[in-house]
């Protein structure tokens, strides 16, 4: 039986952890360094840090925050937001990240995926896909870029396959409709991508209760379960989640 990993996500804006609903209506959730330290102590398996306004504001990831978080982080640490070139990716990795996550830049410059995979190794390259429902497309899901603000007309599952073919080591789909709504992960999106690729898939967007994580691991076949607000605001404790998953036949680390 495969083991699923638990991955809290720190969405960063102006140096603080924030969380919203459907990518808007953000509220403060704490200091990123303190959050990272607590998650490491409390049993998280992975950590994500996403500078959520970097791309829209046309700036680079805030490397100072990455460095400070890296100093207290004892688990694999993925950083995304504002990474638009090999040099950007190299700077983020040098600041202490274990992986880089690219989204809008990967869509605009698909060759960046290949270049990063060759230079750093596929295992360090995550391609994040923000998607929303569009019944006109084969999978029913459309890729969005620029922080989930701009529709592309491209099918999300097809794009995931292309990203894998170019060297992505992990695919991170986030459902715009489900993000922050706590109504459950978008299982058809996660499952559709998981069945189309061989690399690990991270479930993201919509966790609100323990059952949602179980659904993502079983029905969605996700390898890593990412969540933010339920962890940030103490609604679900990581150790309780792991016990629940184990009690329901899903192995954890």
CATH number at residue 82: 3.20.20.70
Read off the pLDDT band of 58 (50, 70, 90): low
Predicted structure pTM score:
0.91
Lowest mean pLDDT among 54-63, 99-108, 187-196, 235-244: 54-63
Report the pLDDT value the prediction gives residue 62, as an integer from 0 to 100: 79
Q: Which of 11, 45, 155, 179 is catalytic?
A: 11
Residues 117-129: what's their mean pLDDT? Answer: 98
Q: Which of 51, 130, 132, 155 is catalytic?
A: 130
Alpha helices (runs of H) in the chain, residue ranges in sequence order: 32-41, 63-72, 86-94, 104-108, 111-120, 156-165, 187-196, 210-218, 229-232, 238-247
User: Which residue range is the domain that position 35 belongs to?
Assistant: 3-252
d(CA 134, CA 157): 12
Query: Mapping DSSP to helix (H, G, I), strand (E, B) and coil, where does residue 48 land?
Result: strand
The whole-chain average pLDDT of the chain stands at 90
Residue 11 among the catalytic residues = yes
More confidently predicted of 28 and 114:
114
pLDDT digits (tens, 9 = 90+) for 2-14: 799 999 998 887 7
Structural domain count, the chain: 1
- The count of residues in the chain is 253
């Amino acid at each position: 039986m495969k083991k699923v990993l638990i991955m809290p996500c720190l969405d960063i804006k102006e140096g603080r952890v924030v969380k919203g609903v459907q990518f808007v209506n953000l509220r403060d959730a704490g200091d990123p360094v303190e959050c990272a330290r607590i998650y490491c102590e409390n049993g998280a398996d992975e950590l994500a840090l996403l500078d959520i306004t970097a791309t829209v504001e046309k700036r680079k990831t805030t490397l100072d925050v990455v460095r400070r978080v890296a100093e207290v982080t004892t688990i694999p640490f993925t950083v995304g937001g504002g990474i638009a070139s090999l040099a950007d990716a190299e700077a983020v990795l040098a600041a202490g990240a274990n992986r880089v996550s690219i989204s809008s830049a990967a869509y605009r410059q698909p060759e960046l995926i290949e270049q990063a995979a060759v230079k750093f190794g596929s295992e360090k390259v995550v391609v994040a896909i923000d998607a929303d429902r569009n019944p006109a497309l084969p999978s029913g899901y459309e890729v969005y870029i620029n922080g989930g603000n701009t529709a592309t007309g491209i099918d999300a599952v097809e794009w995931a396959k292309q990203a894998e073919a170019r060297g992505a080591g992990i695919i991170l789909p986030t459902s715009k409709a489900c993000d922050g709504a706590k109504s459950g992960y978008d299982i058809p999106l996660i499952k559709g991508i998981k069945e189309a690729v061989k690399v690990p898939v991270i479930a993201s967007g919509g966790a609100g209760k323990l059952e949602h994580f179980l659904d993502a691991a079983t029905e969605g076949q996700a390898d890593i379960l990412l969540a933010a607000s339920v962890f940030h605001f103490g609604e679900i404790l990581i150790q309780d989640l792991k016990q629940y998953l184990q009690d329901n036949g899903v192995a954890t680390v």
